[in-house]
Structure 1
Amino acid sequence: MLTIARRFSRAANCGNQIIIDFNNVDIVKNIQKREYDAIWNTVDSVRSDIKKTDLKKFKEAFGDDFHQALTFVENTDRLIAMNYHTIFRPLNNNPDPEKVVFRGKIWISGDVSGNKIDEIITKQSHEVGFSVGNHSIGHATNKTINSYKKTTGSANFLQKCFVSHYDFGDFCIPEHVNSDGIIIKNARDVPDKDILNYDAKIFKYERSKYVLGQLREDFGRVAYDENGEVVGFGRISTYPSGECCINPMYADNIDIARNILKDILEEMTLDSDKYWRLKLYSHDYSQESYGWIRPFLKTMTHRTEIYKLMCDHKQQGMDFSKVFSQFNPSNCPI
């Protein structure tokens, strides 16, 4: 997923135009306080959907399998590009024994001129295995598909991905949602294995620390059937800006997804002074990924395509049928 600063971030104003080449940049991969401060001050502080501690938490969750490469103007603290990759290792239930290399967020400052920055980022990706025929997967916009194809040798995509934003004032809590046989529990009150075993049915790669950390922060829920089997989980994350995000919503069917959301919203309350808007990611694998939220809205549903999930191999380790909304797309494919 590529973000160009001049379009999406005020970070475009951080300096004068500069022509970049391999001989006038410093590449930093061992991220310490200086680099985290640069990321926050240059990019993330103007975003409405991130907390200052998020990036460190992602690194702690994925450990050595989370690769960060920051590009600075040589001998300065001027950050001009970021490139993130995560290596996902297959679980025992995965029919595909190969690890995948996922390219998450790419950010390039709007004050960079020339094409060399693309070559620098491509080299960084190759160094972590994001390359032709190496089980590579990542998000690409319509403008960056050609660059993705050059890196991986493939322009195949698994699904289109979309985003919707709804003001909290446009939400309502429906009186009647079919809850027959559905039991909702707080994610903090359930065993780890209940969450992880369900996640492993959908995403057959190791990400246990990440999933547990996400579900137990802010407003996380786990759904059970009458036999005590997990049938879904979901979470709404909240940010200092007042923005909230459903990330993720996994469920066996639409009624379960709606019951999870209803339970969360009842705890949050629809306080439009406290909460600004709700972000929802969706995909085109199934129509329900888009329409499931309709009973909670006083306005029309809408969405905008933001990227395609690209893949250079036959992907067998992900089940999109239960994904109503995904995890943070900077960190996970679904």
Structure 2
Amino acid sequence: MASIALQNIRKSYGSLPVIHGIDIAIEDGEFIVLVGPSGCGKSTLLRMIAGLESISEGRLSIGETFVNDLRSKDRDIAMVFQNYALYPHLTVAENMGFSLKLRGVAKDEIAWRVGNAAKILALQPYLDRHPRHLSGGQRQRVAMGRAIVRDPKVFLFDEPLSNLDAKLRVAMRAEIKELHQRLKITTVYVTHDQTEAMTMADRIVVMRDGMVEQVGTPLDIYDNPATTFVAGFIGMPPMNLIKGRIQADDPSIFRTASGVPLPLPPDRRLAGSDRELIYGVRPEKLILVADGGIAARVAIVEPTGSETQVTVRAQDENLTILLRERVALRPGETINLAVSTADVHLFDAATGGRTEGWQK
């Protein structure tokens, strides 16, 4: 196992920069998830760690070793790809042990390592089968087994679950997390799925346009997003983000552009509030009340069984509510909402960053 240090990592294709000075310190045994929309640079960054992409500028270390110019095969890493990359003419056992065979590892050692990995991943019944006779989930486990037998310092996963159906993704997500808890190997995992990031990571790195927006534990990022991008990307459904200003004559009220009054925490004040701001509140922090609060008209009701997601309109503002209980709401109905003011966020409308001076 080993730590990973990325210092001012940059990548350009000719005159086009795609990674803009990334600094991340990954601890030995940590599970880090790189998450962000398509094209944000997360897979490029992973490939640079793997040695499959050159580094234009900066310093990359794995453990105590500076690896910028080290070939991929010499970095002691193992990578699991989105498309499995299995040899169709080889059996499961042969696929899992192929890299060891190329290294000249003794047959007995290969058999022992393959058997051990097969036991961990429940693949013993399939060792003599070919990939075409396996399900998608079984093929992904074979790809993971091929990585395990190498006993690497670092695991790298590049969107390994994106080809699986929804039910299998959930099952494989749990298997990968359990595997990490058992082996304690430093892991860097790339996904665009924020649910995968939230459920699997020790820490999340949220990326956007080749830069890091925020690094933190899943709950810290969820509870304390640093920018409107993070607030809108992490969480399903995403945070409600509404433009407006704090009332000059009443600092306890935030008034939206369409005139809807939204409450602020009574124990917080924002100095110099005469500027456009963005009010953020998670859907589950909007509460149905019998009287008072914010009047809103129900637009869409989406029951999921355990929860109900409701889209409402308060004047010209669209708001999303997430109710943990079943409710009998119908489109066109008028409801009243209260806000859990302790969970309100304020962002600067110009920069998208959390406002300075928003004190508790």
Task: Give your verdict on TM over 0.5.
Answer: no
* Greater RCO (Cα-Cα under 8 Å, separation 6 or more): 1
Structure 2 length normalisation: TM-score? Answer: 0.22
Normalised to the residue count of structure 1, the TM-score between the two structures is 0.23
Max Rg structure? 2
Higher helix proportion, which one? Answer: 1
